[in-house]
Amino acid sequence: MKLFFIAGERSGDLHSSNLIRSLSEKSSFSFSGFGGDEMKNAGCDIIAHYRDFSVMGFVEVVKQYSKIKKYLQFAKESIIADKPSAVVLVDFGGFNLKIAKFAKKENIPVIFYISPKVWAWNTGRTKKLKKYIDHMMVILPFEKGFFREWDWKVEYVGNPVKDALVHVKSNIQNLPKEVFTFPASYKLEKMVALLPGSRNQEVEGIKPLFLDLIKSNPKNGFLLAAVDNLNKELYKEFDSLPNVKVVYNQTYELLLHSDVAVVTSGTATLETALLNIPQVVVYKTSFLSYHIAKNLIKVPYISLVNLITNKETVKELIQDQASLENLNSELSDLMYNSVRREKVLNEYNEMNQLLGAEKASEMAAQSIVKFLNIKN
């Protein structure tokens, strides 16, 4: 049986790979689609890499519309040629909702894993999701209740970030410490993880603030989480600073060697929390994209941590609030105020309990098998 996957970013690639492995253990599947290296390593035939078509932001999407349109058409042609038993769409809502509409028209079953964030803005899109998606699996506890209000029964399968962290946490003693530590002669006080994101525009947007932060804190060490799907020139300015190490493709390990973290909004905020690292969430985008989003977004927070706990567990510094002064103040509080630090860690634990056990990939695979009426 063939499944056609589409994941349009790094986290979707990772979670898809774990789902593919779980599915492979349950029945005889073949996998193809749009994704990345993690999916390829799990046994998926990658037709297009997400680095070539992944775009975020309102204005940025408009600027890149012709490229997105080209890959949408390519995805549709690939699905027709592949003749899959079902398409499995993973996050990446704007692109994948168009694919869901197309697949439904072609009478191909549509499975969606990691729901588009319709609860955040434009809730009316829920009607389209319900119309075009045959089986929805959600990964945030509150999403099940949200969709229930739209008379749609979806399945909460747990959060796949917890699955991804199991191996790293269990092998913490085997981590290559030399990659993450500075010579003793540096006498650095604290170690700060910097997570600028995995898209070109995210890194470009936050880089000036990160560089200022590093230069203003010569007594602290900084570990910058880099990804090899982006041009190394993006990180060149960090390489020249003495209290920085640029570490590629080892974000979880990097976090485990840090005292605090500065994280751009996204899945990384949840990953950082599940590794019990106090964090500040920062986010900057283009002026126009920010003001469009500000008028559309209906939820009080942008970080997954705060959305799950339904309170300000971690500080969010957005756009103009993401200043060097505010960032330094918040980091100092997290590093040296034991009461504040303990409060954050206690609320991380509450969040962890809400998410449930580390079985999302297994649960999602079982759900898909059941939906497709395959006997184990």
Q: Interhelix angle for 10-24 vs 360-371, to 10°?
A: 60
- Considering only 59-73, 182-196, 213-227, 320-334, which range has the smallest mean pLDDT? 59-73
Per-residue pLDDT of 42-86, as tens digits, reads 999 999 999 887 665 544 555 566 778 899 999 999 999 999 999
Domain 2-158+359-371 matches domain 166-355 at the CATH topology level? yes
Higher pLDDT residue, 122 or 82? 82
DSSP classification of residue 216 = T
What is the average per-residue pLDDT within 221-246?
A: 93
**Per CATH, the architecture of 2-158+359-371 is what?**
3-Layer(aba) Sandwich (3.40)
* Cα Rg, the chain, nearest whole Å: 21
Q: What is the pTM of this model?
A: 0.84
Query: What is the pLDDT at residue 172?
Result: 61
Give the 3-state DSSP-derived string for 88-152, with helices as H, strands as E and coil as C.
EEECCHHHHHHHHHHHHHCCCCEEEECCCCCCCECCCHHHHHHHHCCEEEECCHHHHHHHHCCCC
Enumerate the domain spans of the chain.
2-158+359-371, 166-355
DSSP classification of residue 242 = T
φ, ψ of residue 45 in degrees (nearest 5)? -80, 105
Per-residue pLDDT of 83-111, as tens digits, reads 999 999 999 988 999 999 999 999 999 99
Any alpha helices (H) in the chain, and if so which ranges? 10-24, 37-41, 58-63, 65-82, 93-105, 125-132, 141-148, 160-170, 177-180, 200-215, 236-239, 251-256, 267-274, 287-296, 304-309, 324-336, 338-355, 360-371
| Strand, helix or coil for residue 156 | strand
CA distance 182 to 243: 8
| Strand, helix or coil for residue 222 | strand
Here the tokens at position 222 are 């900084």
State percent of the chain over pLDDT 90: 70
Q: Would you place residue 178 in the very low, low, confident or very high pLDDT band (cuts 50, 70, 90)? A: confident
Query: What is the pLDDT at residue 294?
Result: 60
Query: What is the pLDDT at residue 195?
Result: 97
Burial class (CB in 10 A: 0-12, 13-18, 19+), 338: exposed
CA distance 21 to 19: 5
Determine the residue type at 49: H
Query: What is the pLDDT at residue 375?
Result: 43
What is the average per-residue pLDDT within 211-221?
A: 96
What is the average per-residue pLDDT within 228-255?
A: 92
Class of domain 166-355: alpha beta
Query: What is the pLDDT at residue 290?
Result: 56
What is the average per-residue pLDDT within 185-209?
A: 91
Mean pLDDT score across all residues of the chain = 90
On the question of pLDDT at 376 being above 50, the answer is no
On the question of pLDDT at 374 being above 80, the answer is no
Query: What is the pLDDT at residue 94?
Result: 86
